[in-house]
Structure 1
Amino acid sequence: MTILAALLIAATPVSIADCASPAPLAEPWTSWSQSGQARAGAQAHGAPALILGRPVVATLIPAAHIQFATPPGKGAKEGYGGLFTLSLKQPARVGIALDGPAWVDVVTGAEAVASVQHGHGPACSGIRKIVWFDLPTGRHLVQIAGSKAATVRVMAADAKANQPVG
């Protein structure tokens, strides 16, 4: 029973409220605490852009009002969500980070892109989850669904941002 309790504690993300001070973040998340503002889109046309390395606090929309390009993996009919665009000049492994629980999908063309990795952000960082996608050059749609909160901090980051070349 003790092992099970330890595993449950290890699997639970540390809330920033449980920390004495926020943890300093390494690349590509160093700008996580900056605060842009955005209102999530209800449809792909006109959805606001996410810019790599620039977090926003997004006001979300009731999920029933969103025209998702593909059905979200979870939570499509519950809570809040929204749509964002993300444009890439070159292929990249991109992480989408959120500060709260919600489902994240990336759609390229008419197809949902499979995630390649997911997990929690660093302890005491305020990043609850990061979902990684290998994305080609071009325009993508980021779908957020199933948030119980009407706002979420979201950031897209290139895994190789500011990494040494060599």
Structure 2
Amino acid sequence: MTILAALLLVAAPVAATECATPASLAEPWTSWTQSGQARAGAQAHGAPTLILGKPVVATLTPAAHVQFATPPGNGAKEGHGGLFTLSLKQAARVGIALDGPAWVDVVTGTTTVASTEHGHGPACSGVRKIVWFDLPAGRHLVQIAGSKPATVRVMAADAKANQPVG
């Protein structure tokens, strides 16, 4: 029983008291704590647009009712999901950040774009995960699936946003 208790302590998330002060976020995530509201689309046509650097708290739909452009990864029919569009004037490395556990894919045309990197935000930042994609210029569809909560904070950011030139 002592071993189980020790394992639970090790696996436990960071306690709220340890996050009394939110972590500062570097570019391109400095606007993470700002947010608008959006209802994620249940189909590609009419899905709201993500704007680089502008986070939103998105209301999701039960995933079984979302018409994904391509089958999403893990847990697609479980929990909640939704769709957003993302338009780029030029090719960019784009990170999609979420504040909770969910699967995120980017679809260009009819093809799911392979992610290039996965990571977490800083402790106490509210950023649970960041998935990076190398995207060409044009219109893309961001698919979120498998979220247990019916809302998720989501933000798309260009890796080079506000970075020094040189």
Which residue of 2 is the match for residue 47 of structure 1?
47
Q: Distance in 2 between matches of 1:151 and 1:97?
A: 14
Is 1:73 paired with 2:47?
A: no
The aligned amino acid for 2:72 is P
Which residue of 2 is the match for residue 141 of structure 1?
141
The answer (yes or no) to whether the contact 1:15–1:124 under 8 Å persists in 2 is no
Q: CA deviation at 1:15?
A: 6.7
Q: CA deviation at 1:160?
A: 0.3
Which residue of 2 is the match for residue 84 of structure 1?
84
Aligned length: 159
TM-score (norm: length of structure 2): 0.91
Which residue of 2 is the match for residue 97 of structure 1?
97
Q: Write out per-residue CA displacement over residues 86-136 of structure 1, whole angstroms, 9 at most, x where no aligned residue.
A: 000000000000000000000000000000000111111000000000000
Q: CA deviation at 1:74?
A: 1.0
Q: CA deviation at 1:28?
A: 0.2
- Per the alignment, in what secondary structure is the counterpart of residue 122 of structure 1? coil
Q: CA deviation at 1:161?
A: 0.3
Q: CA deviation at 1:21?
A: 1.1
Alignment of 1:3-14 (within 5 A): 14=14
Which residue of 2 is the match for residue 152 of structure 1?
152
Structure 2 unaligned regions, length at least 5 = none
- Per the alignment, in what secondary structure is the counterpart of residue 64 of structure 2? helix
TM-score (norm: length of structure 1): 0.91
Q: Distance in 2 between matches of 1:28 and 1:78?
A: 31
- Per the alignment, in what secondary structure is the counterpart of residue 69 of structure 1? coil
The aligned amino acid for 1:102 is A
Q: Distance in 2 between matches of 1:157 and 1:75?
A: 25
Q: Distance in 1 between matches of 2:118 and 2:15?
A: 18
> Percent identity of the aligned residues?
83
The aligned amino acid for 1:163 is Q
Structure 1 unaligned regions, length at least 5 = none
Which of the pair has more CA radius of gyration? Answer: 2
Which residue of 2 is the match for residue 114 of structure 1?
114
Q: Residue 92 and residue 15 in structure 1: after superposition, are their counterparts in 2 closer, same or farther (change >3 A)? A: farther
The answer (yes or no) to whether the contact 1:87–1:137 under 8 Å persists in 2 is yes
